[in-house]
Amino acid sequence: MSAVAPVAGAASPTTLFDKLWQAHEVRLLPGGDSLIYIDRIFLHERTGSIALQSLESAGYPVRDPQRVFCTMDHIVDTFPGRGDKTLMPSGTDFIVATRAAANKSGVQLFDVDHPDQGIAHVISPEQGIALPGLTLVCPDSHTCSLGAVGALAWGIGSSEAEHALATNTLRVRKPRTMRVTVRGQLKPGVTAKDLILHLISAYGADGGSGYAVEFAGSAIEALGVEARLTLCNMAVEFSAFTGLIAPDAITEAYFKGRDHAPSADDWDQAADYWRSLRSDVDAVFDREIILDADAIQPMVTWGTSPEHAVPVSGCAPDPHNFPSAGAESAQKALDYQGIAPGQVMAELAIDAAFIGSCTNSRISDLRLAASILRGKKIAPGVAGVVVPGSRRVKRQAEAEGLHKIFIESGFEWRDSGCSMCFYAGGETFGPGKRVVSSTNRNFEGRQGPGTRTHLASPATVAASAIAGCIRAAVPEENMYTGADAAALQEAIG
What is the tens place of the pLDDT at every residue in 195-216? Answer: 999 999 999 999 999 999 999 9
Q: For the packed helices 363-373 and 402-409, what is the interaxial angle rounded to 10 degrees?
A: 50
Partnered with residue 300 across adjacent β-strands are: 310
CA distance 16 to 284: 11
- Supply the pLDDT for residue 484: 41
CA distance 438 to 428: 15
- Nearest 5°: the CA angle 174, 176, 181 is 135
Beta-carbon count within 10 A of 9 CB? 5
CA distance 328 to 322: 9
- Supply the pLDDT for residue 476: 59
* Residue 220 near residue 209, CB atoms below 8 Å: no
CA distance 309 to 490: 35
CA distance 172 to 160: 10
CA distance 104 to 277: 37
pLDDT values of the chain reduced to their tens digit, one per residue, 493 residues: 233 343 444 579 999 999 999 999 999 999 999 999 999 999 999 998 999 999 999 999 999 999 999 999 999 999 999 999 999 889 999 999 999 999 999 999 999 999 999 999 999 999 999 999 999 999 999 999 999 999 999 999 999 999 999 999 999 999 999 999 999 999 999 999 999 999 999 999 999 999 999 999 999 999 999 999 999 999 999 999 999 999 999 999 999 999 999 999 999 999 999 999 999 999 999 999 999 999 999 999 999 999 999 999 999 999 999 887 789 999 999 999 999 999 999 999 999 999 999 999 999 999 999 999 999 999 999 999 999 999 999 999 999 999 999 999 999 999 999 999 999 878 999 999 999 999 999 999 999 999 999 999 999 999 999 999 999 998 754 444 443 444 444 444 4
- Supply the pLDDT for residue 360: 98
Q: What are phi and psi of 204, to 5 degrees?
A: 95, 155
* Residue 415 near residue 113, CB atoms below 8 Å: no
pLDDT digits (tens, 9 = 90+) for 398-443: 999 999 999 999 999 999 999 999 998 789 999 999 999 999 999 9
CA distance 484 to 316: 38
CA distance 402 to 353: 17
- Nearest 5°: the CA angle 224, 137, 157 is 130
| Three-state helix/strand/coil letters over the chain | CCCCCCCCCCCCCCCHHHHHHHHHEEEECCCCCEEEECCEEEEECCCHHHHHHHHHHCCCCCCCHHHEEEECCCCCCCCCCCCCCCCCCCHHHHHHHHHHHHHHHCCEEECCCCCCCECHHHHHHHCCCCCCCCEEEECCHHHHHHHHHCCEEEECCHHHHHHHHHHCEEEECCCEEEEEEEECCCCCCCCHHHHHHHHHHHHCCCCCCCEEEEEECHHHHCCCHHHHHHHHHCCHHHCCCEEECCCCHHHHHHHCCCCCCCCHHHHHHHHHHHHCCCCCCCCCCCEEEEEEHHHCCCEEECCCCCCCEEECCCECCCHHHCCHHHHHHHHHHHHHHCCCCCCEHHHCECCEEEECCCCCCCHHHHHHHHHHHCCCCCCCCCEEEECCCEHHHHHHHHHCCHHHHHHHHCEEECCCCCHHHCHHHCCCCCCCCEEEECCCCCCCCCCCCCCEEEECCHHHHHHHHHHCECCCCCHHHCCCCCCCHHHHHHHHC
Question: Structural domains in the chain?
Answer: 16-174+252-275 (3.30.499.10), 176-248+278-295 (3.40.1060.10), 299-492 (3.30.499.10)
